[in-house]
Structure 1
Amino acid sequence: MDSYPQDFPFGIMDVVELLHLHIRRRQANSVYVDCPFCNDRRGKMNVNYVKNVWRCNYCGEHGGMLALYASVNNTTNSDAYREICDILQTDPPWGYEAEKKYFGCAGASNGEPRIGSSYPDRAQETSAEVLEEVPQSKRASDQEIHQTYSLLLEMLSLTDRHRRHLRSPKRGLTDEQIDSLGYKSTPPVFLCRSLTERLTAKGCTVQGVPGFYQLEDGNWSVKFNKRTAGILIPAKGLDGLIHGIQILLDVPLRNENDPPDKVGAKYIWFSSSTKYMGTTSGSPVHFVGNPFARTVYVTEGLLKADIAHLLMNRSFVAIAGANNVSRLDLLFTLLAQNGTELIVEAHDMDKYSNEAISQGASKIYLMARKHGMDCRRLTWNPNYKGVDDWQLALRRKEIQKKEEASMNFKARYLSGLCEMDDINRSVETWQRNQEQDVGLNGYLGLTEGEYAVLLQDGQNVLKELLDTQCRKCCFRIYQLDFEEEPTIPFAFLGIEALHKAGFKQPPAAKYRLVCEDSIRVPREQSDDEILQRLFIRYSTPREDCPKRCLAASDVVELYDEEQRLYFYRDLETFVPVRFSPAFAKPIAERQSDNG
Structure 2
Amino acid sequence: MEDKYKALNAKFPGGLAESNWVDTDYPDGNVHWMRFAGAQCPICGHTDWCCVNVTGTKVVCMRKDDGKAPEIGDGGHLYVLKGTKAVDFDSSKVKTTETVPYASDKIRDLLYRMVLVANPLAAHHRTNLKKRGLTDEEINLHRSRGFGSIYDDRNLAKKYGVKPFAPIKLVKGTDGKGKIISQWRKLFAKLNLPDNVWQGVPGFYLKQMRVDKPLALQSGDGKFTIEPGSYDYPMFTANTDGMLIPYYDEENQIVGFQTRVDHRSVYAEITKKPQGANIHVYFDKDTNHYRVVLYDKFNKDGKTLAESDIHGDNPVHINYGINNSQEIVFKPKFGGKYFWVSSSKEYLGASGKTPIQVSYNPKIASLAPHDKALEDYIKQPKAVWLTEGGLKALVATAKLSSCFSEEQLDDYGRDFLAVAGVGSYRKFIPMLEKLNAKRITVAFDMDFIKNDQVADHYRHLINLLHEKGYQIRMALWDPKKAKGIDDALVNGSEIRFKEI
TM-score with structure 2 setting the length: 0.58
- Cα deviation, 1:404-451, whole Å, max 9, x if unaligned, reads xxxxxxxxxxxxxxxxxxxxxxxxxxxxxxxxxxxxxxxxxxxxxxxx
Aligned to 2:200: 208
Say if 2:63 and 2:422, in contact at 8 Å, map to a contact too: yes
1:391 aligns with 2:403: no
Distance in 2, matches of 1:315 and 1:256, equals 40
Aligned to 1:151: 114
Q: Which of 447, 454, 458 matches 1:361?
A: 458
Say if 2:119 and 2:149, in contact at 8 Å, map to a contact too: yes
Identity of aligned residues (%): 25
Q: Which of 15, 26, 33 matches 2:18?
A: 26
Distance in 2, matches of 1:283 and 1:319, equals 8
CA-based RMSD: 3.8
Aligned to 2:399: 311
Please give the secondary structure, in 2, of the residue aligned with 1:27.
strand
Distance in 2, matches of 1:132 and 1:240, equals 30
Q: 1:113 to 1:153 in 2, by over 3 A?
A: closer
Q: Which of 223, 227, 233 matches 1:219?
A: 233
Shift of 1:64: 9.3
Q: What amino acid is aligned across from residue 253 of structure 2 in structure 1?
A: L
Q: What 5-or-longer segments of structure 1 have no aligned partner? A: 1-12, 74-79, 85-111, 119-130, 398-539, 549-595
Q: What amino acid is aligned across from residue 361 of structure 1 in structure 2?
A: Y
Shift of 1:67: 7.6
Distance in 2, matches of 1:145 and 1:254, equals 33
1:266 aligns with 2:269: no
Q: What amino acid is aligned across from residue 176 of structure 1 in structure 2?
A: E
Aligned to 1:402: none
Aligned to 1:330: 430
Say if 1:322 and 1:356, in contact at 8 Å, map to a contact too: no
Distance in 1, matches of 2:8 and 2:252, equals 44
Distance in 2, matches of 1:345 and 1:24, equals 34
Higher helix share: 1
Higher strand share: 2
Aligned to 1:177: 138
Aligned to 2:305: none
Q: Kindly report which structure 2 residues correspond to 1:125-144, keeping only aligned pairs within 5 A, or say none.
A: 134=97, 136-144=99-107
- Cα deviation, 1:359-393, whole Å, max 9, x if unaligned, reads 22223223323432122221112221111111111
Q: Find the structure with the greater CA-based Rg.
A: 1
Aligned to 2:51: 46
TM-score with structure 1 setting the length: 0.49
Shift of 1:312: 0.6
Please give the secondary structure, in 2, of the residue aligned with 1:262.
strand
1:238 aligns with 2:250: yes
Aligned to 2:126: 163
Q: What amino acid is aligned across from residue 357 of structure 1 in structure 2?
A: V
Q: How many residues align?
A: 331
Please give the secondary structure, in 1, of the residue aligned with 2:477.
coil
Distance in 2, matches of 1:174 and 1:18, equals 45
Shift of 1:346: 0.5
Say if 2:151 and 2:242, in contact at 8 Å, map to a contact too: no
Q: Kindly report which structure 2 residues correspond to 1:88-487, keeping only aligned pairs within 5 A, or say none.
A: 113=88, 115=90, 134=97, 136-168=99-131, 171-181=132-142, 182-188=146-152, 191=165, 193-194=167-168, 196-201=184-189, 202=191, 203=193, 205-217=197-209, 218-224=232-238, 228-254=240-266, 260-289=331-360, 291=378, 292=380, 294-313=382-401, 314-335=414-435, 338=436, 340-382=437-479, 383-394=481-492
Say if 1:54 and 1:63, in contact at 8 Å, map to a contact too: no
Say if 1:323 and 1:359, in contact at 8 Å, map to a contact too: no
Q: What amino acid is aligned across from residue 51 of structure 2 in structure 1?
A: N
Q: 1:141 to 1:67 in 2, by over 3 A?
A: closer
Shift of 1:162: 1.5
Q: What amino acid is aligned across from residue 261 of structure 2 in structure 1?
A: L
Shift of 1:196: 3.4
Q: What amino acid is aligned across from residue 137 of structure 2 in structure 1?
A: E
Distance in 1, matches of 2:91 and 2:130, equals 54
Q: What amino acid is aligned across from residue 135 of structure 2 in structure 1?
A: T
Q: 1:153 to 1:135 in 2, by over 3 A?
A: closer
Q: What amino acid is aligned across from residue 428 of structure 2 in structure 1?
A: L
Distance in 2, matches of 1:132 and 1:296, equals 35
Q: 1:246 to 1:185 in 2, by over 3 A?
A: same
Please give the secondary structure, in 1, of the residue aligned with 2:352.
coil
Say if 1:183 and 1:231, in contact at 8 Å, map to a contact too: yes
Please give the secondary structure, in 2, of the residue aligned with 1:303.
helix
Greater shift, 290-299 or 186-195, is seen at: 186-195
Distance in 2, matches of 1:178 and 1:152, equals 17
Shift of 1:188: 4.8
Please give the secondary structure, in 2, of the residue aligned with 1:196.
helix
- Cα deviation, 1:194-217, whole Å, max 9, x if unaligned, reads 453355333262111111122234
Please give the secondary structure, in 2, of the residue aligned with 1:323.
helix
Q: 1:341 to 1:265 in 2, by over 3 A?
A: same
Q: What 5-or-longer segments of structure 2 have no aligned partner? A: 23-32, 154-163, 169-182, 210-231, 271-329, 361-376, 402-413
Shift of 1:116: 10
Say if 1:288 and 1:315, in contact at 8 Å, map to a contact too: yes
Q: 1:349 to 1:199 in 2, by over 3 A?
A: farther
Q: 1:200 to 1:41 in 2, by over 3 A?
A: same
Q: What amino acid is aligned across from residue 147 of structure 2 in structure 1?
A: Y
Shift of 1:27: 2.9
